[in-house]
Amino acid sequence: MVRWRTLVGRLAAALVAVTAGSLVVAAPAAAKPGPDVTPYVVGGTLAAQGEFPFMVRLSMGCGGSLYSPRLVLTAAHCVGRTGTNTSITATLGVVDLQSSSRIQVRSNYVYRAPGYNGNGKDWALIRLATPVTTLPTLKIATSTAYDNGTFTVAGWGATREGGAQQRYLRKATVPFVSDSTCNSYYGGQIIASEEICAGYASGGIDTCQGDSGGPMFRRDASNAWIQVGIVSWGNGCARPSYPGVYTQVSTFAPAIASAAASLGG
């Protein structure tokens, strides 16, 4: 079964469309066959405090990255339609979600990718009610130059299929998988121009439920972190011959930048 990597599963595209401005907490959808429940990086290790300061945990059971002091980049399937939304709480600045030093900020607006219907275009921006100026942001790839090699993924999702949400941030590294190879695994379901795959043919290491919306990133030519993917979907978690499928950030970089500008930067 193909699963969105959200905490409670994947909401049908039809339901996503009618959920007025509220957070969609998953359940199975039409395109890319139905989802499951639960969240964490499978086969990973604990991240150190401050190692990935741009990581964001969202209260509906998704991840995200700090795109700017006021904006969190996440997956479209994690949210409802574009519009005012004050129901989301973002937790930032910690690996331990229960840490007394955590930063928590409410949302005030959600922007979901235009034309999103459950197939591709799986990105969204969440505007925070107040800016977070004490943490670094994560820049996004604007070309395909970094859409290869070995990537880092991180999240508070399940450590196994059907597992529970985790308290501590975990990390793992996964290698790039070509579109042709990934499509051979998934029977042609990959949208090559909009999605990028990463994982091991033998399985064992992967993102999982609850990691949806989080970043896949690597070092750029200046040794700075750069985001190349957004956790989107996959067949189970860490199964052999089923790599994780991520939104290809470079494809949507202009649209993300334009939306960010319209939301205040």
User: pLDDT tens digits for 67-121?
Assistant: 999 999 999 999 999 999 999 999 999 999 999 999 999 999 999 999 999 999 9
Please report how many Cα atoms fall inside a 13 Å half-sphere around the Cα of residue 238, on the Cβ side.
23
Using CB atoms within 10 Å of the CB of residue 182, give its burial: 0 to 12 exposed, 13 to 18 middle, 19+ buried.
buried
What are the extents of the domains in the chain?
2-37+53-135+252-262, 139-250
Digit-coded pLDDT (tens) for 152-173: 999 999 888 878 889 999 999 9
Domain 2-37+53-135+252-262 sits in CATH at 2.40.10.10
Lowest mean pLDDT among 16-20, 90-94, 141-145: 16-20
Active site residue 212: yes
Contact predicate 242/236, CB 8 Å: yes
- The pTM of the whole model exceeds 0.85: yes
Alpha-carbon distance values, 73 to 92, 140, 150, 238 (Å): 13, 10, 21, 24
Digit-coded pLDDT (tens) for 178-223: 999 999 999 999 999 999 999 999 999 999 989 999 999 999 999 9
| Superfamily for the 139-250 domain | Trypsin-like serine proteases (2.40.10.10)
Active site residue 147: no
Query: Quick check: do 2-37+53-135+252-262 and 139-250 share a fold?
Result: yes
3-state secondary structure of 183: helix
Rg (CA), the chain: 16
Widest distance between CA atoms in the chain = 47
Q: Considering 65, 68, 107, 212, which one is annotated as catalytic?
A: 212
Active site residue 222: no
Q: What confidence score (pLDDT) does residue 18 get?
A: 31
Q: Considering 36, 65, 68, 77, which one is annotated as catalytic?
A: 77
Q: Considering 65, 68, 107, 122, which one is annotated as catalytic?
A: 122
